[in-house]
């Protein structure tokens, strides 16, 4: 009889007969993963910033050429001049584009050592030092080209009256622009939809990379050699 009671007690206390815990217990759910990768909200936020949609607007310096829709490469001369060249492998058209903020870049001539800048009159020039005039807003145009607008200067808004209503127009941006003759245009005369304001960042070719490597290996000597080969100003065809 005692054995029977012990067996019944063991059977009742077996785990399979225990009641489940109350459903009121709140579980901490973890974000679902896609492809085995974590979906941390911070990572999703960052993907929309530096590493995702705006990846081309941030990160390490990029060595590029800016090919204008007018068929000229933008070049920065050591004497402070800005213009365009038809040459495929001109050292002064090799640029270093660096993000200073999301969507904001500075453009430096790798061989001239000067920065692309726009002054208060909308004129482009090559600055020996980095200033606020060297900051440009980089945007992707709907046609696949990029535009570069001065971050500091633009056409100031003005009020227009129509009867009893008063409207304030938005300030118009001043864009980096190279016309059909390879000459820069004043920013206040530019539009983002014009061919002269559209630039395609081009990856460097093998010959360009060779020049960059030589510059890095012997910076001062090769820069002087490049100046001598181009007459110190960078000839345009």
Per-residue model confidence (pLDDT) at position 144: 85
Mean pLDDT within 119-134:
97
Buried b (16+ CB within 10 A) or exposed e, 170-182: eebbbbbbbbeeb
Run of H or E including 108: strand 104-109
Asked if residue 174 lies in contact with residue 118, where contact means CB atoms within 8 angstroms, the answer is yes
Query: What long-range pairs does 123-126 form, CB within 8 A, spacing at least 24?
Result: 123/184, 123/186, 123/187, 124/82, 124/176, 124/184, 124/187, 125/80, 125/81, 125/82, 126/76, 126/77, 126/78, 126/79, 126/80, 126/81, 126/82
Mean per-residue pLDDT for 95-117? 96
Q: Dump pLDDT digits (tens) for 163-197.
A: 555 554 567 999 999 999 999 999 999 999 999 99
Q: What is the CATH number of domain 59-154+172-223?
A: 2.80.10.50
Is residue 53 predicted with pLDDT exceeding 60?
no
pLDDT at 92 over 50: yes
How large is the average pLDDT for residues 12-30?
Answer: 43
Structure token pair of residue 207: 């010959």
Burial class for 98, CB neighbours closer than 10 Å (0-12, 13-18, 19+): middle
Q: What is the mean pLDDT of the chain?
A: 76
* pLDDT tens per residue, range 56-80: 445 689 999 999 999 999 999 999 9
The Cα–Cα gap between 44 and 234 comes to 46
Delimit the domains of the chain by residue range. Answer: 59-154+172-223
pLDDT class of 162 with cuts at 50, 70, 90: low
Token pair in block for residue 169: 């127009």
């Amino acid at each position: 009889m005692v054995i029977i009671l012990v067996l019944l007690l063991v059977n009742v206390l077996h785990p399979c007969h225990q009641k489940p815990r109350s459903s009121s217990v709140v579980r901490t759910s973890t974000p679902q993963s896609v492809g085995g990768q974590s979906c941390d909200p911070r990572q999703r936020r960052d993907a929309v910033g530096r590493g995702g949609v705006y990846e081309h607007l941030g990160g390490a310096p990029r060595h590029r050429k800016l090919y204008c829709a007018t068929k000229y490469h933008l070049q920065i001369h050591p004497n402070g001049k800005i213009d365009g060249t038809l040459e495929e492998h001109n050292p002064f058209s090799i640029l270093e584009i660096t993000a200073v903020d999301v969507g904001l870049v500075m453009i430096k001539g790798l061989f001239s050592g000067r920065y692309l800048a726009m002054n208060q009159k909308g004129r482009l020039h090559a600055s020996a030092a980095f200033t606020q005039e060297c900051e440009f807003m980089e945007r992707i145009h709907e046609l696949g080209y990029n535009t570069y607008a001065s971050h500091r200067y633009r056409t100031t808004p003005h009020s227009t009256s129509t009867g009893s209503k008063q409207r304030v127009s938005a300030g118009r941006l001043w864009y980096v622009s190279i016309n059909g003759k390879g000459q820069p245009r004043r920013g206040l005369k530019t539009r983002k939809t014009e061919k002269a304001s559209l630039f395609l960042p081009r990856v460097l070719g093998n010959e360009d990379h060779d020049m960059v490597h030589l510059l890095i290996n012997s910076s001062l000597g090769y820069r002087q050699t490049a100046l001598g080969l181009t007459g110190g100003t960078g000839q345009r065809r």
